[in-house]
Structure 1
Amino acid sequence: MTHKSKEEQQKLLQLLKQAVGNDIPQLTDEYFLQFLVANAWDVHGAQRQLQETLAWRKENDIDSIPVATNSNKLPLLLSVRGYKYVQDGDLGVHPGLSTTTLKIGSLIGGDCFHKFDKEGHPILIDRTGYHNSKALGNELTSEQITNYQVACQEFVGRVIMKESSERLQRIIHRETVIFDCSNMGIRQFHMNALYHLKAVADIVQHYYPETLHRLFIINAPSAFVMMWKVIRPWLNPGTLDKVQILGKDFKNVLLEHIDAENLPDFLGGTCTCDQMPGGCVPIRSEGSLLNPTDANEQVSTVYNTDIMEAASTNRSLCQL
C-alpha cells in the first residue's frame, strides 16, 4: 500500500469529494477513504469505483436488503455470538427465510460472527473444511451465492460494525476473518464452487473495498495449495497483503490479535459459548440438511418475497 502523510490523505480526500460532486447520498470521509486506499490513492480510480458502487447499490436496491436485529426479530442468515444489537443464535428453518438461504446453510460447514479482535474489529469464523463444495458448485447458482454474500455484508456493515464503532468511538468498517481448513481434502477442490467463490470475491472487492482487516487461513493442508494457486490471481494486491496462511501452528499468531476470551477454545482461546447449542461455531456436517417447509419460498433472495418487499418501505427491517 502506498504510504501517504495525513496532509496528503486529506488533500486527496477533498479532490475525490469534489470529483464525485454533490449529487450523491451523504457519505462519511471514512467511506471515501476506503475507495482511495483500495485504489492506491489514485483519485480517478477511486472516483470510478465509488460511482460504480453507488450505481450498483441503487440499481439493485441494496439499501433495502433486510438485516436481522434485536428489534425486528428477523431470522439470522448465519450464526452470531457476542453482540448487543442482535441476539446470539444460529441459522435454522424459520418462516421467512428462502429455500436458497436454507440450501446454502445446509452446505456450508459453519459460519459465525464471533465477538471482536484486540483492535475492535468483529471476527468472522468460517469452518471452510466442512463445506460441501461439490453440492455448492452443482446445486446453487452464482446469483444465489452472491445474493447471500451481499446480504451478509449488509448485515455486518449495518448492525455489527455499528456496535464496533460505538465501542471505539470511531468508525470501524473492517472485519477479521478466520478460515479454518480442518477436515479439508481434495473433495473441496471443485471448480464450479471455486467459480462461485470468484463471483463473491469480485463483488466484495469492487463494491465493498477495504472491509477486510485480516484473513487467517489456518490448518491449511496440502490440498489447499492447489486451490490457492487458482484463487490467488482473483485477489487484488491489497487483499493479498492481509492474508496469512498458517498450518497447525497458528494459535500464538491468533492470540497476538485476539484475546483468549474472544477466541474459541478449538482455535487456542478459552471461549466455549456453552450457553449455545454447538458452542462458538456450530459445524453442519454433510447430510445434516435444513429442510424447507411450505413457509420457505423458492426464490433467489435470502428472505421470502413479502419480507423483501416490506423492507423497501419499512426501514426498521433494514437498520437498527
Structure 2
Amino acid sequence: MTTAQEKEDVNVNEEDFVEDIVIDPSIDQSFENHVNDAIRSKVPQFLEMVKTADLIPTLEKIRCTESMEALLQRFLKARSGDVNLAFKFLKEDCEWREANQILSLRTKSMDDMLVAGRNPILKETIVSMIPQGCLGRDKQGRPILYRKVTGNMNVQKLAELGYSVEEFLIYQAWMLERTVAMMNDKGQWISIMDLGELNLTKMMGNLNIVKAFTALAKNHFPERLAHNIIINAPTVFGIVWRAVQVWLDKETQKKVSIFSSPKNWKPALEKEMDLNLLPTESGGPAHLSYSPSSFDP
C-alpha cells in the first residue's frame, strides 16, 4: 500500500527529476594518464615542502607500494596543481591516517571491524542497512565497489548497538583501504550505487551520512575513483543531487553517471563489466560475500 508520504514524494515538480547523465566508459579516467606536464613540473617543489615539514617518514610508511611521485601527483591533481593547497591537503590526510591508525586496517577482516567484542547483531544490522561489497573487476581490471542505499540507515539504531557514526565511517575507510591494497596501491576503482529503494523522505534522512561518505573518499582517497555509476535513481533524486554537487569539485562531478531506468543502466554497465557480477540486491545473479567478506585480506 502506498503511504501518504510516498504519494507526497511522487508529486514533486518535474524539474526535480534528473535525466540520465552518462559518462562514456570508453574514456580513460585513470589519473596517471591525465597528469599533465604542468603538474609533473611541480612535483619537485611539492617534495621539498614535504621534506621541510618532516613528512617523509610518515609518507614512506603510508604509501606502501605506491611510488612517492605517484602519491604527490594524486594530491597535486586533486588540487588542480596548486602546490600550497596540495601540501595542506596532504598534511591533513597524514594527520588523519596517523590518528586513526588507517594503515592497520589493511590487515583486518570484516569480522574484525564489526564482530569482535561488539554487539552480536551489529554485523547483521549494518549489512541490512547498507549492503556493500567488491563485485570483482571491470573490463579494464579495476575493482568494482558496490553499495545499495536501502533507506534503512538508522544512526540511532547503531548507537543503541554501541556503534558510533565515527566508527561506522572508519568501517567505510576500511573498505576503501582494503580496495587500495587489492590494487597493489596503483590505479583506480569504479563504484556502483543503487538508490532503488529510496523516496524523498528516506533520501533526505540519509543526507548527512551520504555527505560523510563523500567527504571520506574525497578527502582521503583522492584520484582513486574513476567512475561513479548511480543506478535506479528515483524521480526526486534531483533534489539530493543538487545538494551533493555542492560538496563535489567539477572534476569529480564529471566522473558521475546517473541512470533512472534499468533499460538504460544495464547496457551502460555492460560496457564496463560482466553483468553476471551484479548482485541479487540489484537484480543480478551474484551474491554479496560477508563471511568471509569480499574485502577481507
Query: What is the TM-score of this pair, normalised by structure 1?
Result: 0.65
Q: Structure 1 residues 99 and 199, CA, compared in 2 at 3 Å: closer, same or farther?
A: farther
Of 145, 148, 152, the match for 2:172: 152
Whole-Å Cα distance in 1 between the matches of residues 204 and 191 of structure 2? 22
Q: CA deviation at 1:261?
A: 4.3
Question: 2:173·2:216 contact (CA, 8 Å) conserved in 1?
Answer: no
Q: CA deviation at 1:258?
A: 1.2
Match of 2:78 in 1: 38
Whole-Å Cα distance in 2 between the matches of residues 164 and 110 of structure 1? 22
Match of 2:139 in 1: 118
Partner amino acid for 1:161? V
Q: CA deviation at 1:97?
A: 4.4
Alignment of 1:227-306 (within 5 A): 227-248=240-261, 249-264=264-279, 272-273=285-286, 279-280=287-288
Match of 2:148 in 1: 127
Instruction: After superposition, give the CA deviation of every residue in 1:74-120 in whole Å (9 maximum; x if it has no partner).
Output: 6265xxxxxxxxxxxxx7xx444457953861552411211011222
Match of 1:75 in 2: 111
Q: Secondary structure at the match of 2:246?
A: helix
Q: Secondary structure at the match of 1:34?
A: helix
Alignment of 1:54-203 (within 5 A): 54-65=94-105, 67-68=107-108, 75=111, 94-97=115-118, 101-102=122-123, 105=126, 108-128=129-149, 130-133=150-153, 135-136=154-155, 138-140=156-158, 144-157=164-177, 159-165=178-184, 171-191=185-205, 193-203=206-216
Instruction: After superposition, give the CA deviation of every residue in 1:98-151 in whole Å (9 maximum; x if it has no partner).
Output: 5795386155241121101122221111122x2314x34x4457x933432333
Q: Secondary structure at the match of 2:228?
A: strand
Q: Structure 1 residues 161 and 55, CA, compared in 2 at 3 Å: closer, same or farther?
A: closer
Question: 2:229·2:256 contact (CA, 8 Å) conserved in 1?
Answer: yes
Q: Structure 1 residues 116 and 212, CA, compared in 2 at 3 Å: closer, same or farther?
A: same
Q: CA deviation at 1:174?
A: 2.5
Question: 2:145·2:191 contact (CA, 8 Å) conserved in 1?
Answer: yes
Question: 1:13·1:33 contact (CA, 8 Å) conserved in 2?
Answer: yes
Partner amino acid for 1:184? L
Q: Secondary structure at the match of 1:190?
A: helix
Q: Secondary structure at the match of 1:216?
A: strand
Whole-Å Cα distance in 2 between the matches of residues 241 and 184 of structure 1? 24
Whole-Å Cα distance in 1 between the matches of residues 35 and 197 of structure 2? 45
Q: CA deviation at 1:64?
A: 3.3
Q: Structure 1 residues 66 and 265, CA, compared in 2 at 3 Å: closer, same or farther?
A: closer
Q: Any gaps of 5 or more consecutive residues in structure 2?
A: 1-28, 291-295
Question: 1:100·1:144 contact (CA, 8 Å) conserved in 2?
Answer: no
Whole-Å Cα distance in 2 between the matches of residues 100 and 50 of structure 1? 37
Q: CA deviation at 1:212?
A: 1.5
Whole-Å Cα distance in 2 between the matches of residues 52 and 190 of structure 1? 29
Instruction: After superposition, give the CA deviation of every residue in 1:157-183 in whole Å (9 maximum; x if it has no partner).
Output: 2x4333334xxxxx4342211111222
- The percentage of counterpart residues that share the same residue type is 21
Instruction: After superposition, give the CA deviation of every residue in 1:208-233 in whole Å (9 maximum; x if it has no partner).
Output: 22221211111111122222222221
Length, aligned pairs only: 247
* Aligned-residue CA RMSD (Å): 3.4
Whole-Å Cα distance in 1 between the matches of residues 93 and 125 of structure 2? 26
Instruction: After superposition, give the CA deviation of every residue in 1:3-39 in whole Å (9 maximum; x if it has no partner).
Output: 9765434322222112211542214222212111110
Whole-Å Cα distance in 2 between the matches of residues 262 and 107 of structure 1? 20
Partner amino acid for 2:266? K
Question: 2:190·2:228 contact (CA, 8 Å) conserved in 1?
Answer: yes
Question: 1:38·1:209 contact (CA, 8 Å) conserved in 2?
Answer: yes
Match of 1:312 in 2: none
Name the one with the larger helix percent. 2
Whole-Å Cα distance in 1 between the matches of residues 146 and 89 of structure 2? 29
